[in-house]
Amino acid sequence: MPARTAAPVGAPCWIDLQTSDPGRSREFYAQLLGWTPEEASAEFGGYFRFTRDGVPLAGCMKSDAEAPMPDVWSIYLATDDIEKTLEAAGRHGGQVVVPAMPVADLGTMGFVVDVSGAAIGLWEADQFTGFGVVEEPGAPAWFELFAREYRAAVDFYREVFGWDTEVAGDTPEFRYTTMRDPGGDGELAGIMDASGFLPEGVPSHWSVYLAVEDVDRTLARAVQLGGSVLREAEDTPYGRLAQLADSTGAAFRIVDPDARTRATP
């Protein structure tokens, strides 16, 4: 896929990892996906970026030892007016947890908890627009909200982030809505009704899918590197999918989108 110079408003534009052990995370993703970890920035509290062939793909920083939380991947949605978006989030039942915070001349970030209880980041770009490629091996490929309050969540992202949505499924077994790409055909993110299968105590949450060339080989390599398989590989109409945790326990999903093509008679 061609290089991505900017994300459409409302679309995922960046991902980053809060980790208890940056050293282990650096090694895990470098060996698993071929990512190159940049040097940590003292100016930004030790934050650093992962790149591949010089293209930024994700960020990483050590989690706050004074406020321990599970290691986790976060997703950021693009906005062209972060103050307006934060205000809209509060007005539509969300909670602002990180108000607009300038990040040098790179842009402005914020964080909200949506109406379903899932945390989502916001990014208003200045000099930095986010990951530079999508869907290629090693790059972010898909972004999905597992929502306990499905219909409320769909309304929230329509109203707050301006999503143009399409219903992909509306049965008790599979309720799913996607964000249509405003610049052309295709979809950029999805919301799944997870009320029927999320274990007790697991809140609504966003999950990132990273593209790989071979899901099964990637799972085996992840285990060798200290990761674990959370959901075994399976073939779906959207490609071959699996879920794993990295060497410090942060969960993410992998997908081989080309698998659906190879499986087509």
Confidence of residue 264 (pLDDT cuts 50, 70, 90): very low
Please list, in sequence order, all residues whose beta carbon lies within 8 angstroms of the beta carbon of residue 236, skipping any fewer than 6 positions away: 260
Return the bridge partners of 73, or none. Answer: 17
Whether residues 29 and 109 share a domain: the answer is yes
In a domain, 7, yes or no: no
Are 120 and 181 contained in the same domain?
no
Q: Do 22 and 91 belong to one domain? A: yes
CATH number of the domain enclosing 215: 3.10.180.10
> Which pLDDT belongs to residue 262?
37
The CA-based angle 195-199-203, given to 5 degrees, is: 65
Q: pTM for this one? A: 0.95
Q: 251, 252, 255, 217: which is closest to 237 by C-alpha?
A: 255
- The pLDDT assigned to 216 comes to 97
In whole angstroms, give the CA distance from residue 75 to residue 64: 18
**Residues 149, 92: one domain?**
no
Lowest mean pLDDT among 69-73, 87-91, 158-162, 226-230: 69-73
Question: Edge-to-edge strand order for the sheet containing 140-147?
Answer: 165-171, 174-180, 187-193, 140-147, 205-211, 251-256, 239-245, 228-236
Q: Is 118 in the same domain as 148?
A: no
Q: Which residue has the tokens 């061609």?
A: 2
Burial class (CB in 10 A: 0-12, 13-18, 19+), 261: exposed
How many residues make up the chain in this entry? 265
- Structure tokens belonging to residue 31: 């060996």
Task: Look at residue 24 and tell me if it is in a domain.
Answer: yes
Per the structure, the complete domain to which residue 190 belongs is given by 140-263
Same domain, 205 and 229: yes
Q: Are residues 103 and 73 in the same domain?
A: yes
Same domain for 81 and 41: yes
Q: Are the C-beta atoms of 240 and 215 separated by less than 8 Å?
A: yes
107 & 176 share domain: no
Q: Same domain for 146 and 92?
A: no
Q: What is the mean pLDDT of residues 129-149?
A: 96
Q: What is the pLDDT of residues 90-112, one digit of tens each?
A: 999 999 999 999 999 999 999 99
Based on the domain organization, do 102 and 22 belong to the same domain? yes
- How far, rounded to the nearest angstrom, does the alpha carbon of residue 161 sit from its chain's CA centroid? 16
Nearest CA-CA partner of 98 in 46, 85, 190: 85
The answer for residues whose C-beta is within 8 angstroms of residue 2's C-beta and 6 or more apart is 133
Count of structural domains within the chain: 2
Among the candidates 125, 154, 177, a domain finishes at 125
Residue 133 lies in a domain: no
